[in-house]
Amino acid sequence: MDNNNKSKSSSDSDSNIYWKENIRLIFICLSIWFIVSFGFGILLVDWLNQFRVAGFKLGFWFAQQGSIYTFLILIFFYINRMNKLDNKYKEGGE
Amino acid sequence: MDLQTLTYIFVGFTFALYIGIAIWAKAESTKEFYVAGAHVHPLLNGMATAADWMSAASFISMAGLIAFSGYDASVYLMGWTGGYVLLAMLLAPYLRKYGKFTVPEFIGERFYSRTARIVAVVCLIFISFTYIAGQMRGVGIVFSRFLEVDIITGLIIGMAIVFVYAVLGGMKGITYTQVAQYCVLIFAYTVPAVFISLQLTGNPIPQLGFGSELINSGSTDQATSQSVYLLDKLDKVVMDLGFNAYTESNWSTTNLFFLTLALMAGTAGLPHVIVRFFTVKKVSDARRSAGYALFFIALLYTVAPAIGSMSRLNLIETINGPSSSSSSESEDSKKALETAGTSYESMPNWFKTWENSGLLAWVDHNKDGKVQYAKGKAIADKSPTFAEERGPLGQRIVTNPSKGEIAQGAPFANEVFVDKDIMVLANPEIAGLPAWVIALIAAGGIAAALSTAAGLLLVISSSISHDLLKMTFAPNITEKQELFYGRVAITVAIIIAGYLGANPPGWVAETVAMAFGLAASSLFPVILLGIFSKRVNRAGAISGMLSGLIFTFCYIIYFKGVFIEPFAANIEENWLFGITPQAIGGLGMMINFAVAISVSYFTEEPPKEVQDMVESLRHP
């Protein structure tokens, strides 16, 4: 990748790739976001409740605890990846 | 030292702290007034956002809601935290990159339209005021219960404090006070939870405690020495009393789904939360502070369900007696239920103090002098009314008792009315914790209410002085004048908020849910489309906002009748797809998206400079 080439057209296509990778990352994160909250916490809750973790029924645990922990992991994963992307495609400071 | 003195000391100390910060952080420019100079550290901004976001509803009401609805209340936990994932990935970084002061400003410029800007300002003001009324109410409850001043005096004190730091310091003052308020409120929330978790399960971490085994308190139980999980016992106890199981769902899946959706999108679309991300230095900081914010919020939100389940169990055992059903033999528990109840004279002190505040009431339906709690309504209306004189045992006489029928599945008639809002505040007293812990709760409740009120007041004032005056009707005013009008606007807003707190319209509780539905169905979709689509244009955005807003608003009015009589009974048979008015914002949001996109494709593209503006948001 020719990051040093500062010509207009190349930085345009660079930021295009940057945007596409960002969208892909968002898509992955939001899929997991959907699965743990709407999936495990609501739609599949009755089925998951047959399993237990300590004193919790699993579906109940996802609805009241697990989904929140997953949200946190997702955001920090996204921040980390985006910072790497930012550095890779950054053109000489903002 | 007695509770009252301790409470005065704690609350007085926090107030002194807030005023000290206000004097230190005076705003000198509009940039400092609107966005704290845009150089707040992401970690501090995360804390401030958490305090800004967690209102009296989160601090005072949520755990009570969980205590009484069990699994179903999970939608609030998921909805109010899941919104931050949307914020961090879909909105906050790009709005920071845009780099102006307010949300209507973005909508106005992105959709090149004064109308869009004004529609956004109207949504914003409506959402914010309904919210503030709830906060002021929270301040009133805490003052009247713990400091035993009347609600009006409490309100005036609260308003005066907010006035000092919000008017002087603007966003700058608010930010640093919110950081202090976060520390106060999280400490106040978790300390009692740790104590209670230790008491019940021996586990100091409440998040794990409510999934642990109970410590058998020896004397209660001789037959069964094996230990029981807290949630299993709670399920059994509430079912014995005729309620549905604590860990199971009672609502339709569709409704749970749409309510969660409305709360998540509503959270992401609330202007006072979004504007906090304008205060950091750069785009990556906006993402980072959304992460920190969720971390700080999660500290409270993962403790809340623990408090909910533990306080429910404590409440039942205090009233019906500890022997009610800790044994697994159903025969034994049936026998135990026959003698359930505690005589009024031997009820602990907290029961009587909360009875005095009118948020708790007892009707002796079976005339045995004992307090009993089960499924069913103890009183005829939504809240109790009291006679002047006292009953023979010293109890307050309720003038609107129910008929005292035994509810289906319940072993006896319910005699107790408990307002959900007292659970967090009374919890340390119910568990018999030391007085300083109870005093701490009072300071925490006030911090939660004030921090949110201040954030809301600021977005109201900035949308008036900046969006309506500077950008629309009086573009010629100087920065100094704008700053002056900002301060005037915030002062007027405080007075209106105080008035709403003192004379809460009957529909406050309804309209708070409405605020989320409206934010989800009006602001969230157009901001999102404004960033992620270059094709959505002025016509699409305005028609989308209006259709989402009007649909949601009308649906709520139809069943709740905010200013007029409702058109139809608010019951499941009448609801569209079984969706409650509270949850309808989720559907309104989808309508907004659909209308905005389809209208845009049938009308001409946005002008080149707007497309370039959107493009510029997408660069690293």
Residue-by-residue DSSP string for A7-64: -HHHHHHHHHHHHHHHHHHHHHHHHHHHIIIIIIIIITHHHHTTSEETTEEHHHHIII
Q: Mean pLDDT for each 10-residue chunk of chain B (620 residues)? A: 82 86 78 75 88 83 83 87 90 84 85 86 83 75 71 79 79 85 88 85 81 63 60 77 76 84 88 85 86 92 88 83 52 62 78 79 79 79 76 78 75 80 81 82 84 85 78 75 82 84 61 78 90 87 88 78 61 68 85 92 85 82
For residue B327, what pLDDT is reported?
46
Domain-embedded: residue B392: yes
Cα nearest neighbour of A52 on chain B: B211
User: For chain B, what is the domain count?
Assistant: 2
Distances (CA, A) of B609 to B4, B117, B186: 62, 18, 46
Interstrand relation of B342-343 and A56-57 (parallel, antiparallel or unpaired): unpaired
Q: Are residues B409 and B470 in the same domain?
A: no
Neighbour count for residue A22 (Cβ, 10 Å): 21
Structural domain span for residue B148: 3-199+251-305+436-507
Question: What are the chain B neighbours of A60 within 8 Å (beta carbons)?
Answer: 71, 74, 231, 247
| Residue that is last in its domain, among B374, B408, B430 | B430
Domain-embedded: residue B591: no
Question: What are the chain B neighbours of A39 within 8 Å (beta carbons)?
Answer: none
Distances (CA, A) of B264 to B47, B261, B514, B604: 20, 5, 14, 32
Interface contact flag, A68 B232, Cβ < 8 Å: no
Q: Find tokens 């494709």 and name the residue.
A: B601
Q: What is the DSSP string of B151-213?
A: HHHHHHHHHHHHHHHHHHHHHHHHHHHHHHHHHHHHHHHHHHHHHHHHHHHS-S-HHHHTTSB
Nearest CA among B68, B316, B78, B209 for reference residue A60: B78
CA trace torsion B452, B457, B458, B460 (10° rounding): 130
The sign of the torsion formed by the CA atoms of B111, B115, B121, B126 equals negative
The residues near B490 (Cβ < 8 Å, ≥ 6 apart) are: B166, B167, B170, B457, B458, B460, B461
Q: Are residues B460 and B370 in the same domain?
A: no
Q: How far is CA B593 from the centre of its chain?
A: 27
For residue A32, what pLDDT is reported?
92
Cα nearest neighbour of B66 on chain A: A64
Q: Are residues B52 and B78 in the same domain?
A: yes
Task: Give me the interface pTM, i.e. the ipTM.
Answer: 0.85
CATH number at residue B453: 1.20.1730.10
Q: Are residues B266 and B136 in the same domain?
A: yes
Interface contact flag, B305 A65, Cβ < 8 Å: yes
List the 178-217 stretch of B: residues with Cβ below 8 A of A: 207-208, 210-213
List the 214-253 stretch of B: residues with Cβ below 8 A of A: 229-232, 247-249, 253
Q: Find tokens 């159903």 and name the residue.
A: B330
Is residue B74 within 8 angstroms of chain A, CB to CB?
Answer: yes
Neighbour count for residue B436 (Cβ, 10 Å): 15
Q: Are residues B52 and B29 in the same domain?
A: yes
Nearest CA among B339, B336, B393, B386 for reference residue B364: B393
Tokens standing for residue B253: 């899946």
For residue B593, what pLDDT is reported?
92
Interstrand relation of B370-371 and B342-343 (parallel, antiparallel or unpaired): antiparallel
Q: Are residues B257 and B135 in the same domain?
A: yes
| Residue that is last in its domain, among B400, B430, B460 | B430
Measured at the CA of B302, the angle between CA B301 and CA B305, to 5 degrees, comes to 90
Alpha-carbon gap: B85 to the closest alpha carbon of chain A (Å): 6
Tokens standing for residue B81: 């935290």
pTM: 0.86
CA trace torsion B326, B329, B330, B335 (10° rounding): -70
Q: Which residues of A touch B (CB under 8 A)?
A: 15, 18-19, 22, 26, 29-30, 33, 37-38, 41-43, 45-46, 49, 53-57, 60-61, 63-65, 67-69, 71-72, 74-76, 78-79, 82-83, 85-86, 89-91, 94
Domain-embedded: residue B292: yes
Interface contact flag, A67 B257, Cβ < 8 Å: no
Q: Are residues B98 and B13 in the same domain?
A: yes
Nearest CA among B490, B291, B319 for reference residue B417: B319
Contact B340, B372 (CB under 8 A): yes
Distances (CA, A) of B367 to B363, B371, B408: 9, 10, 21
Domain-embedded: residue B297: yes
Domain-embedded: residue B397: yes
Nearest CA among B384, B338, B378, B333 for reference residue B357: B384
| Residue that is last in its domain, among B486, B507, B528 | B507
Contact B486, B94 (CB under 8 A): no
Q: Are residues B407 and B290 in the same domain?
A: no
Measured at the CA of B587, the angle between CA A64 and CA B513, to 5 degrees, comes to 60
Q: Are residues B138 and B263 in the same domain?
A: yes
Interface contact flag, A85 B620, Cβ < 8 Å: yes
Domain-embedded: residue B578: no
Distances (CA, A) of B484 to B161, B163, B461, B477: 19, 14, 11, 10
Distances (CA, A) of B278 to A85, B203, B320: 22, 41, 52
The whole-angstrom separation of Cα B49 and Cα B41 is 12
Tokens standing for residue B299: 């500290």
The whole-angstrom separation of Cα B288 and Cα B299 is 17
Q: Are residues B170 and B235 in the same domain?
A: no
The residues near B56 (Cβ < 8 Å, ≥ 6 apart) are: B134, B135, B137, B138, B139, B445, B448, B449, B452
Strand partners, A8: none
pLDDT of A7 > 50? The answer is no
**3-class secondary-structure state, position B280:** strand
Interface contact flag, B294 A53, Cβ < 8 Å: no
Contact B38, B189 (CB under 8 A): no
Contact B551, B591 (CB under 8 A): yes
Distances (CA, A) of B237 to B393, B431, B546: 28, 18, 48
Interface contact flag, B294 A42, Cβ < 8 Å: no
Tokens standing for residue A71: 């949200």
Domain-embedded: residue B393: yes
Domain-embedded: residue B493: yes
Nearest CA among B49, B132, B163 for reference residue B456: B132
Q: Are residues B301 and B210 in the same domain?
A: no
Q: Are residues B173 and B270 in the same domain?
A: yes
Contact B194, B204 (CB under 8 A): yes
Strand partners, B229: B213
Is residue B84 within 8 angstroms of chain A, CB to CB?
Answer: yes
